[in-house]
Amino acid sequence: MIVYDLICDADHRFEAWFASAEDFERQAGTPMLTCPVCNSGEVRRVPSAVHTARHGREESAPPPPEHGHVAAFSERKNVIDALRKILAQSENVGQRFPEEARRIHYGEAPRRTIRGQASHEEAEALREEGIEVMSLPVPPSEDLH
């Protein structure tokens, strides 16, 4: 295995492991190699910290900041926290979502935050009527452990 320090076009630094230098070359420029923070495919190698021995003891250059993994974890945590808040502060109307969203929009039901299920076509129809809807990346029954 070989470890390379990489950077994407948004300056996110991260390291990646490859079976060989040829394996890195094969993956570079393909969807197999993307930045773990922003998913950019524009990734290139950067010089690694130099490992040297001085005065009988080994020293190495300080490791680069862990922007990639820490930032990616932080962003995921923020998304999950926001989803938990939305789920906790909304009423689950289930399959009645399109109907209930229309009732709220047209003043036939009290204004409140709701969530539920709608097909892609139903969500598009709501948007065309001027009703703001947002698709969540998790099923409404998901409790986000």
CA proximity to 60, closest of 68, 70, 49, 71: 49
Residue 37 CA: distances (Å) to CA of 16, 77, 86, 133: 13, 13, 24, 27
Torsion-angle region of residue 31: left (phi > 0), alpha (psi -120 to 50) or beta? alpha
pTM: 0.46
Please give the chain's pLDDT, 145 residues, in tens. 788 899 999 999 988 888 888 888 888 888 888 888 888 888 999 987 655 455 555 555 555 555 555 566 677 777 778 788 888 888 999 999 999 999 999 999 999 999 999 998 999 999 999 998 988 765 545 555 5
Domain extents in the chain: 1-47+64-89, 91-145
Q: What is the pLDDT of residue 28?
A: 85
Q: What is the pLDDT of residue 16?
A: 87
Provide the 8-state DSSP code for 51.
Answer: E
Chain-centre distance for alpha carbon 4: 23
64 half-sphere exposure, CB direction, 13 A CA radius:
17
Q: What is the pLDDT of residue 76?
A: 75
